[in-house]
Amino acid sequence: MHILYEARARVVGGRSGSATIEGGVPAIPLAAPRALGGDDAGANPEQLFATSHAACFLSALRFVANRRRLVLADDSAVVAAVGLGMREDGAGFGIEVRLTVSLPGLARDLAASLVQEADRVSPYSHLARHGAGIHIAISD
């Protein structure tokens, strides 16, 4: 795959630490959710993934609408719910994603068609279904 853009984030302290994103973005405090024994004092990875997936999916919707010469309403929205649980194979954890899309002013059939096409082009939807190339290195 030809990379068009690469983002970098550095996390120290895991779920109870902080994340620093390159490019001048303020540090993000991290905290495990109460449901996992944390204190909800910061964002958690599932919230950040939900935010990222929702933003990316809405961008994909705008992309496919633009290809059809359609303009989405400014208040179009995507809500992502990301659940964390044990995988059925018992070997570790998995996530489940649910997206709810609001496309005001569009007929339901047209909205469904756009959602289906956006789901095919969204890199986060692709990641959730097919995984991603992961390359892990040990730093000095």
**Which two three-digit tokens encode residue 118?**
């956006």
Burial of 61 (0-12, 13-18, 19+ CB in 10 A): buried
Instruction: For residue 131, give the amino acid letter.
Output: G
Chain centroid to Cα 62, Å, comes to 16
Residue whose structure tokens are 């989405």:
72
Yes or no: say if 13 and 45 are a contact pair by the CB < 8 Å rule.
no
Instruction: For residue 20, give the amino acid letter.
Output: T
Query: Which pTM does this prediction carry?
Result: 0.90
pLDDT in tens, 95-140: 999 999 999 999 999 999 999 999 999 999 999 888 888 888 999 8
Nearest CA-CA partner of 114 in 48, 70, 55: 70
CATH fold, domain 44-130, is: GMP Synthetase; Chain A, domain 3 (3.30.300)
pLDDT in tens, 18-37: 999 998 889 999 999 999 99
Locate CATH 2.20.25.10 in the chain.
Answer: 1-43
Locate CATH 3.30.300.20 in the chain.
Answer: 44-130
Yes or no: say if 41 and 31 are a contact pair by the CB < 8 Å rule.
yes
b (16+ CB within 10 A) / e for 70-95: eebeeebebebebeeeeeeeeeeeee
**Phi/psi of residue 8, nearest 5 degrees:** -130, 135
pLDDT of residue 133: 84
Looking at domain 1-43, does it have CATH number 2.20.25.10? yes
